[in-house]
Structure 1
Amino acid sequence: MSKLTGFQQGETLIYMIEAPADAALKTINSFLVHHAEGFYLIDAGMDNDACWGAFNQAMEQLDFSAADLSGIILTHHHPDHVGLVHRIRKLNPQVKVYAHPLAIPYITHDKDFLGNRIAFFEKLYSEMDGMPEAAEQLEKFRASFIKNEAFRIDGDIELIQEGDNLLNFKVIDVPGHAPDHILLYDPDGKWAVAGDLVIEHMSTNAIIEPDAGGRLIPTVTQQLASLERCLSLDVQLLLTGHGRVIHSPNPVIEDKISRIKHKLERIMNLIRAGCDTAGSMARLYYKDIYVNQFFLVMSEVIGLLDHLERTGYVVRRKSDGVYHYSLTRRGSNESI
């Protein structure tokens, strides 16, 4: 049994739970917070035996059990951050779950919202020249609609969002990777729990999603703003959802911003080379990865094109149901 890594600021203790993951993610991290107000878990890993085993080993080392938890705080709704909520609630039905309002339709499996989400992607992939490759992804969406019903989070959910305070943390909205993503920031301790906003060893995709009205959320625009906001905070220790914690994180954050800008330039170069649809760009640049990781690749390309359009570097026109992109005068004359 590996020894827990602990961090302390004032009277607050945070213990890092590291569950094994694939080579890309390295680890799936959750954090136990020992505070005067109670014993809290930030993020709840995947619903698998590896995460469950790591959680229980950590609790055993601290001489606690799931029944001792006061609350579970979710940085965002993705499956590798909410997975153990069900198992913990079976042992501790009174444990509070804290989540952003925009997480609710995902974690409660709102049928209308998720049905509209499938329709949104079906239309979007068609307009973005993603067919026929999108067909398999759409089938995955439909299958998950049924499969994930069993993982719906029932019971009361405490809503947290920008401006709230929880334990020693200020809740800060940092959308981009997910519309409901939050950062938990302690200005006195100069540390923050960042979820997937920043991961040291890999890029964090700004994953496209529809809003409640079925419109494309400007995920890359949001991601850049969220990274800039994190950069503006006085953070000396960043506790992240995967891989290692980040000491003195500003250079890492600056590198993430630079990499996004490089990707924006790459999209503009693809347009200069004659690619004028999202699908043609994805097929040319990503090749086999486009097929194997269709959802993430199309998320990246569509999100980057959306940001370039919002900032005046490209325009689009629709022909035969598909959007075609070209550079504006600004896009032809300026770099990002």
Structure 2
Amino acid sequence: MAIQPNVAAPRVAAPLPTRPGVRRRFGVLDRHVWVLYVAPAALVLVAVTLAPLVYLLYNSLTDYDLRRAYLGRTFIGLGNYRTMLEDGAFWQSVQVALTVTAGVVVVELVFGMALAMLFSREFPGKRVVRSLFLLPLITTPVVVGLTWRMLYNSDLGMINYVLGSLGLPTPLWLASTRLALPSVIITDTWHAVPFVTLMFVAGLQSLPTEPQEAAKVDGASAWRRFLDITLPQMRPLIFLALIFRATDAIRMFDLIYVMTSGGPANATQTLNMYAYKVGFQFLNIGYGSALAVVLMLVCIGISFVLVKYSGIELEGGAR
């Protein structure tokens, strides 16, 4: 029988005592370490969003005209907003902006839903047609405006060339106070309908098929199934598209700037375009800032009203 050597067991070092205050301090740091990750993005957001917004609000309360920059700023409170109430050009720009918004939203939602119903079905060449259909979506508004301005050209434009070949009148599309605004609405519709269609196609593909199949078995027509089943189920998405397009249309600028610059005779001058002219052409920074604030409030109001009545649930279940 072998004799086992008497080997002492290795000693385990006892943990160093830590003070309760140290543990508490590191525990607090662990729980709030997310602040270190969020802080850079928050600082950038404040720098590029909140600071300019505060500066805009401050300018809107002052009389600041760069043509008289040597006089500096003079605080006038709500003076710019009182001037706005008596400004005929302001009310005309509001009317144009609302007309553009109503026309664009109605046409785009109707065409978007119709095309979404078409693309939700199978037909020969569907992938090719869908790919070509989405091309306007990836085109910038400036390029779209320049392209359609060439198409609308009274002498060299393709539209008047086709109309003239058919013996039809060749109007001055962008030089007519009666036709300029509808021409802009048509152009924006061509540009934005693919976006609305894409949203609706995604919504239609996510709908359950059981209600449609049950209604079809009961003998409901396709139109009745669309009105009673599809539209109610698509309501939140329709209102979401409405919010996107309404807020985008009412602050339309680049398309109008490229096509008409607000003319002729201010027929296409929206509120955004008017604020730009006042601030950067007439150099009245105070009044231009007040117009921009009003435009911002209008966009916020439209979004709030549409969300309130859309049935879209916000965080926490609130509506």
Q: Indicate the TM-score class for this superposition, using the shorter chain for normalisation.
A: under 0.3
More strand by share: 1
Give the structure-1-normalised TM-score: 0.21
- TM-score with structure 2 setting the length: 0.22
Of structures 1 and 2, the one with the larger relative CO (CA 8 A, separation 6+) is 2
Q: Which structure carries more helix by proportion?
A: 2
